[in-house]
Structure 1
């Protein structure tokens, strides 16, 4: 593991349900559960960038930062749509429906969601 991201979770079970579904739609999978944290990577290999989901180490309530977001590249528009649908079905909330995002450049197609703890995520396809 060279690069990683972390997000705090208020309810680990709800977060795992959300991330298993939403990230599964774009080819990511949970590859480990370690010391109360669930670990996700592309293809579930544990290689490359890893996302850790769990309770903050300081024991304080997790909070979502205003202006913070994690974006995941997606190989197709269909997978962006699937990410959004899976996230909503698994307890997430819509933060921007799938669609063209011309202000970010030609061919940018994205969807935005918030996980059960309020963390903002996106799936983006450039094509």
Structure 2
């Protein structure tokens, strides 16, 4: 259904470093970059290497707030280990814990996820949902 999603960020270079780190374990990469320090409308895009973007980060220094309670973005992970590595990378790069890696049986018998808040306040999840 979705082609891509964009999130506003206050510091594009900090956000790009954060997402570079958290996406690596999930198998996603920066697929395009439009960084021009000091200029408006900077952005970076992420997706599967060699493909188009599915998430774009857009520089919005005007104090744009992230969406409110109930909104989060969940990223597919290739394994439980990738979920744990996502969580660890997020905490090492300025993210906040919002739910340690583990099974979430109330979502399903194989639903393994971790939750973080990025440096701009966006709620993120990495999830692996398959029998091990």
TM-score using structure 1 length: 0.89
Q: Structure 1: where are the runs of 5+ without partners? A: none
Tell me, in whole angstroms, the C-alpha distance in 2 between the residues paired with 1:114 and 1:46.
26
1:50 alignment partner in structure 2: 54
What secondary structure sits across from 1:87 in the alignment?
Answer: helix
Residue 45 of structure 2: aligned partner: 39
In structure 1, the partner of 2:38 is: none
What is the root-mean-square deviation of aligned Cα atoms in Å?
A: 1.5
* Deviation >3 Å, runs of 4+: none
SS for the counterpart of 2:97 is: strand
The offset of 1:45, in angstroms, is 2.0
Q: Distance in 2 between matches of 1:33 and 1:75?
A: 25
Structure with higher Rg: it is 2
Partner of 2:9: 9
**Structure 2 unaligned spans of 5+:** 35-40
Kindly state the Cα deviation for residue 122 of structure 1 after the two structures are TM-superposed.
0.6
- Is contact 1:69-1:121 (8 Å) kept? yes
Match of 2:103 in 1: 100
Q: CA deviation at 1:6?
A: 0.7
Shift of 1:53: 0.5
Secondary structure of 1:81's counterpart equals helix
Higher relative contact order (CA 8 A, sep 6+): 1
User: What SS does structure 1 have at the residue aligned with 2:106?
Assistant: helix
